[in-house]
Amino acid sequence: MCGRYKLAVSEDELIEHVRLEYDIENLIPELSLPRYNIAPGQKVLAIVNDGTKNRLGYLTWGFPIGKPDEPHALINAKAETIEEKPSFASALKNHRCVILANGFYEWKRTDHGKIPMHVSLKTGEIFAFAGIWAPYWNAQGQKEYGCAIITTTPNEVMEPIHHRMPVILPKEKRAAWLMKASATPIHSKDYLTPYDASSMVAFEVSNYVNAAANDDEGCVIPRT
């Protein structure tokens, strides 16, 4: 699964990235960066396509399931079954998104308990989780939007850590992923696959990251 990640970049770095990679010039007013410990239920920076252009905005991390008291309980969607569940299948066709990150955390089970691991690209650059989104109405009757990160089987880097990993989209697949199915039909098996392990790196970090309230550089200090 994927239950915690980071987008530890400056606003200038993000602005440059979305301009070059997604042709986005108009940004939302408050970016609140850097973030070192993004957790479920929080607002996450994501990109959607409105049919003519890409747009950057905030989604709530958690896919709506239709229950007023638990609107965004599903934080992940399995690639292998995403086309079988009606709500996920509809989003896969019409409400795809990318969620921006430059690292994520997973907890490795050992004989001495769970050890948090930080995983990223070797370059440290911003990458794109494959995601889906859907609207929901909050307790105040206001329309909001929730999302889930799609997961798949692990690559060679992730296999010793966990039996799942988030889908990271290669650059050449991002544009087609963002388009609606009517414009760009996709086959999930071509997109929802493990990322190239040779481009990734993982290392142990301290238990400091376990608390979602800890959102600073301490989350990525290697364990000693």
Active-site residue, from 2, 97, 147, 219: 2
d(CA 69, CA 213): 23
Active site residue 97: no
Of 53, 46, 70, which is closest to residue 136 (Cα–Cα)? 70
Active site residue 159: no
Q: How far apart are the first and last CA of the chain?
A: 26
Mapping DSSP to helix (H, G, I), strand (E, B) and coil, where does residue 98 land? strand
Active-site residue, from 97, 106, 147, 219: 106
Which strand (E) or helix (H) includes residue 92?
Answer: helix 86-94
| Chain-centre distance for alpha carbon 30 | 19
Residues belonging to the active site: 2, 106
